[in-house]
């Protein structure tokens, strides 16, 4: 079945460091891919998305490119801030009713 | 953007009692809502798909009689945890699928359930 695998956390970085969170997927079809962010005690917020191969999603300095050849959707940010500390989830959907399949989440902690 | 409101955000109940969690789409109609459960430091696991006016579709391994879902209107779905036990303690999150100008799932802020 379809699945999403993320790199294990927690990831601890200093402010202004470069961030990469790896995400790979297994899918039988051609899903849309998402990154969601969850701040402590809150629900999920959509961070960015890509709906087809080679699309790049970007938002708030974060980027991810839909790579069909490597079945990956790695999240990157050039310079992280303390306020980026959160849990990040990679997910996929076929947009058939909105059912999402999530990776296990990666906790990011950014220190001043 | 569209807003999904979940209530309560936090609830503590005694073993054996039932707890109802509400999920409302505030500014759009959602024929389909989803209920997820999140264990500490783990991902979100889909529990069930809630369809307005019909029975919910439960994922494998989720007890229908324990987690009652009602989607009585286009803006409200409820999850009732019946005869709660400490192992039901978890973070429950709903999402509503909006097929408006953009197609996206919007999430409620979640409910932290603690059963004592």
Is residue B102 very low, low, confident or very high in pLDDT (cuts 50, 70, 90)?
low
Is residue B61 very low, low, confident or very high in pLDDT (cuts 50, 70, 90)?
very high
Q: What is the CA radius of gyration of chain B?
A: 13
A98 to B97: CB separation less than 8 angstroms, yes or no = yes
Per-residue pLDDT, B85: 96
Residue B58, class by beta-carbon neighbours within 10 Å (0-12 exposed, 13-18 middle, 19+ buried)? middle
Best of B1, B62, B105, B112 to disrupt the A interface (most A CBs within 10 Å) is: B105
Residue B6 near chain A (CB below 8 Å): yes
B43 to A105: CB separation less than 8 angstroms, yes or no = yes
- Half-sphere exposure at residue A98, Cβ-oriented, CA atoms within 13 angstroms: 24
Q: Mean pLDDT lowest for which of A51-60, A85-94, B15-24, B25-34? A: B25-34
Is residue A28 very low, low, confident or very high in pLDDT (cuts 50, 70, 90)?
confident
- Residue B34, pLDDT above cutoff 90: yes
Minimal Cβ distance to A98: which of B32, B93, B109: B32
Rounded CA separation B77/B70 (Å): 6
A105 to B104: CB separation less than 8 angstroms, yes or no = no
Mean pLDDT, chain B, rounded, equals: 90
Measure in Å the smallest separation between the Cα of B83 and chain A Cα atoms: 25
Model confidence pLDDT, tens digit, residues A80-111? 999 999 999 999 988 655 788 999 999 999 99
Are the CB atoms for A47 and A37 separated by under 8 Å? yes
Label each residue of A71-90 as H, E or C: CECCEEECCCCHHHCEEEEE
- Residue B32, pLDDT above cutoff 80: yes
- Residue A78, pLDDT above cutoff 90: yes
Regarding beta strands B111-115 and B10-13, do their DSSP bridges make them parallel or antiparallel, or are they unpaired?
parallel
Mean pLDDT, chain A, rounded, equals: 92
Minimal Cβ distance to A100: which of B4, B105, B110: B105
Who has greater pLDDT, B42 or B29? B29
Best of A44, A90, A93 to disrupt the B interface (most B CBs within 10 Å) is: A44
Residue B23, CA distances (Å) to A31, A77, A104, B59, B112 in order: 26, 33, 24, 19, 14
Are the CB atoms for B90 and B42 separated by under 8 Å? no
- Residue B79, pLDDT above cutoff 80: yes
Are the CB atoms for B74 and B52 separated by under 8 Å? yes
Over range B22-51, report the average pLDDT.
88
Are the CB atoms for A40 and B91 separated by under 8 Å? no
B44 to A102: CB separation less than 8 angstroms, yes or no = yes
| CB contacts, 8 Å: A42 with chain B | 109-110
Rounded CA separation B16/B66 (Å): 11
């Amino acid at each position: 079945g379809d699945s999403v695998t993320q790199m294990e956390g927690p990831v601890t970085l200093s402010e202004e460091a470069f961030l990469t969170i790896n995400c790979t997927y297994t899918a039988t079809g051609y899903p849309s891919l998402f990154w969601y962010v969850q701040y402590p005690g809150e629900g999920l917020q959509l961070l960015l998305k890509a709906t087809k191969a080679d699309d790049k999603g970007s938002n708030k300095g974060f980027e991810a490119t839909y790579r069909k050849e490597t079945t990956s959707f790695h999240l990157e940010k050039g310079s992280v801030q303390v306020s980026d500390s959160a849990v990040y989830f990679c997910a996929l959907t076929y947009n058939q009713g909105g059912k999402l399949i999530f990776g296990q989440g990666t906790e990011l902690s950014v220190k001043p | 953007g569209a807003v999904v409101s979940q209530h309560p955000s936090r609830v503590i109940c005694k073993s054996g009692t039932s707890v109802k969690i509400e999920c409302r789409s505030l500014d759009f109609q959602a024929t389909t809502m989803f209920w997820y459960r999140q264990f500490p430091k783990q991902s979100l696991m889909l529990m069930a798909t809630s369809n307005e006016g019909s029975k919910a579709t439960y994922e494998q391994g989720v007890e229908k009689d324990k987690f009652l879902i009602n989607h009585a209107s286009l803006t409200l779905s409820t999850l009732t945890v019946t005869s709660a036990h400490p192992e039901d303690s978890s973070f429950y999150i709903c999402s509503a699928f909006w097929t408006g100008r953009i197609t996206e799932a919007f999430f409620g802020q979640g409910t932290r359930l603690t059963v004592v």
